[in-house]
C-alpha cells in the first residue's frame, strides 16, 4: 500500500437517486473503502490489505495495513498497543519497545529483520484485523465524519475529510479545513456545499504538493473533483472508473460484511457488523452489537435472572443460512432455539439445544432462508443471564436492505422520551423511580429514545452517571439522542461545563462536534439543543443554518428549559429566541423538562398567544427524580397537567402528523393529545 496518490481516470454515472446518508452508513463506508483501495492498491478488495507492510521511502518508516499505519507517525504504535491490550501474547508485542523508540522517524532499528513477518502472522488473525478496523475508525474515520457532519457536509464531503485526515493527519487536516474556510463558508455556516468543497479540495492540493510523496494530486483532481462536478454529493451507485488503465465498477450498493472476493452463493460470514437487537442488555457496555463486532473480547449479555431472553441479527434481505457458531461466555444457555424469519414476526425453527454446557456451539447443515436470525434462550445454564462473545452466522445474502431502524414506508414510528431522570438511588431502594421509567421505556420498544436534560442528579459527575443512570436508562444508551440540563452543567461548577455528560454519552452527546445537533428520521427533522447555552451566538447561528437547509416536511425540537410551564420554575424566557426561530421554520413540536411534572399545551406563538399554526409544547419532567407537585400559576394554553405520576412520553409519528401520550410506569396511558398535522 502506498500513501502517495496514484493517477486515476474517473468516469462517474449518477443514475441512481437516493436519500442522503452518512459515510458511517455501512454501505457508504464500504463504498469509501473500495474507492480508496483502488487508488492505493489498484484493487477493490481492501480486506486483502490487513497483512500488507513495506517501507515506501516517504520518510515515515514502515507503512502497513488497511489504512497505511506508519511506524514513524505514531498510529502504528497505538495500533499495536491496543492490539496487545486485547491479545497480550501476540507476535507484535515484543516489538513495542522498538516501535516507541522509532516513533517520529523513518528508522527500522529494533524492527528488522522479524517485524514484517510478525505483522503478517498477526494479520492472519481476526483479532488483529478487528484491531486495525477499530483504530482506523477511532483515529481517522470517526473524527473526520463527525467534523464533516458538524460542517453540514453530505457523503462526498465526509469522504473528502476522511481521505485528507488519513494522508495528512489531524493537524494537516485542520490546516486544510482552516484554509478552505478562509475562502468559503461551510453549509452549517450558511455557505454553498459545492463551493466550500471546491475550496477544501483546492487547499488539499496545496498541502499535498508540500511533500514529494504526495505531489501527484490525481486522487483529488480526477476523482473527488469529478464526483463533485457531477453533483454526486452522496456517492450514489452505479460508479465506474479506471486506474492505471484498469477498469473498476460498483454497479449496486455493496453489502458490508463478507469480502467482495467471496463468489456469489458461497458460504461466508454474513453476520459481522450487521444490526443486532436484544430482549435486554445487562448494562450499556454489553449491547447486542458486541456479539457481531468480530472482537473476541467484547460481548452481549442479557439482564440477569430472567427467561426467556433473545438476540436478533438482521442479515439482510434474501439471506440463506447454512452454519451458526455461538461462542458463549460463562453465562451460557442450557436450552435455546435458533430461529429464522422473513419479517421479524413469524419464526421458523432451525435448531434447538436442550442440554447446553457452554463453550462454543457449532450448528452445521442448516437450511434456512429469511432476513432475521434469532437466538432464543429459554433456560439459563447459570444464575446469571445469557452472554455471547460472538454469534457468527454463515451462508449467503441475495441483496441489501434498509437498516431495520428505518421507519416503514408509511413513515410511522415511535419515539420515547423523558427528562429529569436518574436520582442517586438503586433499583432495590424503596421509591426509586428511574428504573421503573426505564423499564416502561424499553417495553414500548421505540425506534429510538430522547432525553430532555437533567439526565443525572445531583451534580451529574461521571461516577453518578456510571452508578445510577447507566444501570437504568443506560441500557439503551446506544439508541438514545440526549440533551443536557442545568444539573449536567454542575459537574464543572466553576466553568458551568457539562464535562461528565460528554464523557458518559461520548459521540451520542456531540455527534456533530457540539452539544447541539440535528438528525432526520422518516419525514421528520429532529433538533436537539443545549438550553444551558442559549446565550451563545454559535448555537443560534448553527440553528438558523440548520433550519434553513432542512428539507423534511415536519420538525420537532427538544431542550431542557421550557418556555412555558405551570410548574414551580414557571416560564423560562431564555428559550424565547429559540422558539421564535423554530416558529419561523414551521416547527410542529417542542419537548422540554426542568419542571418535574407532565404538561401538554395547545399550539401557541412565542408570546403565549394561541395559534393553530403555532408550536405544541409537551413538558416531560417525570422521568424519575422527585416530583415537584402543583405550581402556583396555570398557563393559559395549558391543556393537561399531571403532577403526581412518573412515566414517559410516547410520541407516535407519521409522514404528516404526530400524537403524544403520557404512559405511567405501570403501562397506563394517563393522557393522549390530539393528532396534529404538520404545517
The average pLDDT across 500-504 equals 94
Residue 582 lies in a domain: yes
Asked if residue 471 and residue 379 are part of one domain, the reply reads no
Is the CB of residue 565 less than 8 Å from the CB of residue 619?
A: yes
Which CATH number covers residue 93? 1.20.141.10
Bond before 286 cis per omega within 30 degrees: no
Our CA angle for 352, 358, 360, nearest 5°, is: 80
Q: Is residue 521 part of a domain?
A: yes
Which of 290, 467, 291, 281 shows the shortest CA–CA distance to 385?
281
Final residue before a domain boundary, out of 188, 220, 250: 250
Is 58 tagged catalytic?
A: yes
Least confident interval from 47-56, 381-390, 403-412: 403-412
What pTM value is reported for the model?
A: 0.47
Q: Is the domain of 378 the same as that of 445? A: no
Identify how many contiguous H helices and E strands the chain contains and give both numbers: 16, 31
Whether residue 9 lies inside any domain: the answer is no
pLDDT for res 398: 56
Which CATH number fits the domain that encloses residue 655? Answer: 3.60.21.10
- Are the beta carbons of 283 and 472 closer than 8 angstroms? no
E strand or H helix at 321: strand 319-328
Task: Please indicate whether residue 21 or residue 672 has the higher confidence score (pLDDT).
Answer: 672
- Is residue 84 within 8 A of residue 241, CB to CB? The reply is no
For residue 548, give the C-alpha cell. Answer: 434553513
Q: Note whether 385 and 506 are same-domain residues.
A: no
Q: Is 215 a catalytic residue?
A: no
What is the residue-wise DSSP string for 119-175? HHHHHTSHHHHHHHHHHIIIIIIHHHHHHHHHTT--HHHHHHHHHHHHHHHHHHHHH
Q: Examine the domain organization and report whether 189 and 334 are in the same domain.
A: no
Instruction: Tell me: pLDDT of 407 over 60.
Output: no
Could you say which of 344, 367, 397 is where a domain stops? 397
Q: 542 and 605 share a domain?
A: yes
Q: Where are the alpha helices (DSSP H) in 535-659?
A: 537-549, 576-584
Instruction: Choose, from 24, 30, 40, 193, the residue flagged as catalytic.
Output: 40
Average pLDDT over residues 553-581: 96
Tell me which residue range forms the domain holding 210.
26-250
Residue 244's pLDDT band (boundaries 50, 70, 90)? Answer: low
Closest alpha carbon to 91 in 120, 112, 63: 120
Rounded to the nearest integer, the mean pLDDT of the chain is: 87
Q: What is the three-class DSSP state of 70?
A: strand
Structural domains in the chain (count):
3
Question: What is the distance of C-alpha 282 from the center of its chain?
Answer: 20
- Residue located via cell numbers 517485524: 115
Report how far residue 523's alpha carbon sits from residue 19's, in angstroms, rounded to the nearest whole number.
11
| Domain final position from 219, 250, 281 | 250
In a domain, 224, yes or no: yes
Report which of residues 154 and 264 the model is more confident about.
Answer: 154
Shared domain check, 220 and 146: yes
CA distance 628 to 150: 37
Torsion over CA: 488, 491, 495, 499 (sign): negative
- pLDDT given for residue 496 in this prediction: 86
Nearest to 319 by CA among 351, 367, 375: 367
8 Å CB contact between 648 and 642: no
Lowest mean pLDDT, pick from 231-240, 351-360, 475-484: 231-240
Name which of 604, 671, 667 is nearest 643 in CA terms.
Answer: 671
Q: CA nearest 648: which of 626, 617, 678, 621?
A: 621
Say if residue 419 is in the same domain as residue 388.
no
Tens of pLDDT, residue by residue over 206-234, are 998 887 767 778 788 888 888 898 888 99
Same domain flag for 357 and 208? no
Q: What is the 3-state secondary structure (H, E, C) of 278-313?
A: ECCCCCCCCCHHHHHCCCCCCCEECCCCCCCEEEEE
Look at residue 170 and tell me if it is in a domain.
yes
Tens of pLDDT along 324-351? 999 999 999 999 999 999 888 788 889 9
DSSP state of 673: P
Contact (Cβ atoms closer than 8 angstroms) between residue 445 and residue 480: no
Same domain? For 244 and 272 the reply is no
Looking at the structure, do residues 228 and 288 belong to the same domain, yes or no?
A: no
280 and 242 in one domain? no
CATH number for 353: 2.60.120.260
Catalytic residue of the set 30, 58, 151, 464: 58
Report whether pLDDT(533) > 90.
yes
Residue 562 domain-assigned (yes or no): yes
Instruction: Give the DSSP H or E segment for 555.
Output: strand 554-558
Q: Is residue 656 part of a domain?
A: yes
Residue 245 pLDDT = 62
**Cell numbers given for 509:** 452527546
Q: Is residue 627 part of a domain?
A: yes
- Both 378 and 433 in one domain: the answer is no
Amino acid at each position: 500500500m502506498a500513501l502517495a496518490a496514484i493517477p486515476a481516470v474517473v468516469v462517474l454515472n449518477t443514475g441512481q437517486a437516493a436519500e442522503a446518508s452518512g459515510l458511517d452508513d455501512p454501505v457508504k463506508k464500504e463504498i469509501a473503502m473500495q474507492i480508496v483501495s483502488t487508488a492505493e492498491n489498484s484493487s477493490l478488495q481492501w480486506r486483502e490489505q490487513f497483512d500488507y507492510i513495506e517501507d515506501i521511502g516517504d520518510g515515515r518508516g514502515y507503512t502497513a495495513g488497511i489504512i497505511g499505519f506508519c511506524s514513524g507517525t505514531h498510529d502504528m504504535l497505538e495500533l499495536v498497543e491496543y492490539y496487545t491490550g486485547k491479545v497480550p501474547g501476540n507476535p507484535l508485542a515484543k516489538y513495542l519497545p522498538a516501535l516507541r523508540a522509532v516513533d517520529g522517524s523513518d528508522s527500522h532499528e529494533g524492527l528488522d529483520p522479524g517485524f514484517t513477518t510478525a505483522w503478517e502472522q498477526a494479520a492472519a488473525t481476526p483479532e488483529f484485523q478487528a484491531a486495525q478496523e477499530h483504530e482506523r475508525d477511532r483515529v481517522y474515520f470517526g473524527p473526520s465524519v463527525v467534523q464533516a457532519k458538524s460542517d453540514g457536509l453530505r457523503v462526498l464531503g465526509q469522504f473528502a475529510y476522511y481521505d485528507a485526515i488519513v494522508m495528512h493527519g489531524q493537524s494537516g487536516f485542520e490546516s486544510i479545513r482552516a484554509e478552505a474556510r478562509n475562502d468559503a463558508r461551510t453549509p452549517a455556516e450558511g455557505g454553498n456545499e459545492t463551493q466550500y468543497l471546491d475550496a477544501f479540495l483546492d487547499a488539499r492540493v496545496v498541502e499535498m504538493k508540500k511533500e514529494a510523496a504526495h505531489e501527484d494530486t490525481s486522487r483529488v483532481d480526477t476523482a473527488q473533483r469529478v464526483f463533485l462536478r457531477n453533483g454526486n454529493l452522496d456517492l450514489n451507485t452505479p460508479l465506474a472508473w479506471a486506474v492505471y488503465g484498469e477498469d473498476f465498477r460498483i454497479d449496486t450498493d455493496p453489502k458490508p460484511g463478507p469480502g467482495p472476493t467471496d463468489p456469489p452463493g458461497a458460504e461466508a460470514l454474513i453476520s459481522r457488523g450487521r444490526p443486532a437487537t436484544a430482549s435486554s442488555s445487562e448494562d450499556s457496555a454489553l449491547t447486542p452489537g458486541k456479539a457481531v463486532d468480530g472482537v473476541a473480547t467484547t460481548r452481549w449479555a442479557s439482564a440477569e435472572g430472567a427467561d426467556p431472553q433473545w438476540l436478533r441479527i438482521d442479515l439482510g434481505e434474501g439471506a440463506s443460512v447454512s452454519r451458526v457458531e455461538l461462542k458463549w461466555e460463562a453465562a451460557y444457555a442450557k436450552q435455546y432455539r435458533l430461529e429464522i424469519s422473513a419479517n421479524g414476526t413469524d419464526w421458523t425453527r432451525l435448531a434447538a439445544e436442550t442440554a447446553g454446557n457452554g463453550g462454543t456451539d457449532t450448528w452445521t447443515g442448516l437450511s434456512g432462508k429469511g432476513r432475521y436470525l434469532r437466538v432464543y434462550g429459554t433456560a439459563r445454564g447459570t444464575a446469571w443471564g445469557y452472554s455471547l462473545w460472538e454469534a457468527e452466522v454463515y451462508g449467503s445474502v441475495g441483496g441489501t436492505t434498509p437498516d431495520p431502524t428505518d421507519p416503514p414506508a408509511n413513515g410511522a414510528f415511535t419515539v420515547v422520551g423523558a427528562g429529569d431522570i436518574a436520582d442517586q438511588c438503586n433499583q432495590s431502594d424503596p421509591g426509586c423511580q428511574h428504573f421503573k421509567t426505564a423499564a416502561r421505556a424499553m417495553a414500548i420498544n421505540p425506534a429510538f429514545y430522547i432525553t430532555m436534560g437533567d439526565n443525572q442528579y445531583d451534580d451529574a459527575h461521571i461516577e453518578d452517571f456510571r452508578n445510577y443512570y447507566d444501570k437504568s436508562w443506560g441500557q439503551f444508551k446506544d439508541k438514545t439522542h440526549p440533551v443536557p440540563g442545568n444539573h449536567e452543567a454542575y459537574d464543572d461548577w466553576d466553568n458551568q461545563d457539562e464535562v461528565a455528560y460528554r464523557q458518559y454519552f461520548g459521540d451520542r452527546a456531540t455527534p456533530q462536534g457540539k452539544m447541539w445537533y440535528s438528525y432526520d428520521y422518516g419525514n421528520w427533522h429532529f433538533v436537539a439543543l443545549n438550553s444551558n447555552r442559549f446565550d451563545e451566538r454559535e448555537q443560534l447561528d448553527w440553528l438558523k443554518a440548520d433550519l434553513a437547509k432542512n428539507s423534511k416536511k415536519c420538525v420537532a425540537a427538544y431542550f431542557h428549559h421550557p418556555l412555558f410551564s405551570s410548574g414551580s420554575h414557571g416560564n423560562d424566557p431564555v428559550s424565547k429566541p429559540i422558539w421564535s426561530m423554530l416558529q419561523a421554520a414551521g416547527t410542529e413540536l417542542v419537548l422540554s423538562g426542568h419542571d418535574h411534572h407532565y404538561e401538554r399545551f395547545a399550539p401557541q406563538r412565542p408570546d403565549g398567544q394561541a395559534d393553530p399554526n403555532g408550536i405544541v409544547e409537551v413538558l416531560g419532567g417525570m422521568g424519575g427524580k422527585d416530583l415537584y407537585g402543583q405550581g402556583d400559576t396555570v398557563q393559559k394554553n395549558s391543556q393537561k397537567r399531571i403532577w403526581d405520576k412518573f412515566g414517559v412520553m410516547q410520541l407516535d409519528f407519521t409522514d404528516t402528523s404526530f400524537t403524544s401520550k403520557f404512559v405511567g410506569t405501570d403501562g397506563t396511558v394517563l393522557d393522549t393529545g390530539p393528532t396534529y398535522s404538520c404545517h
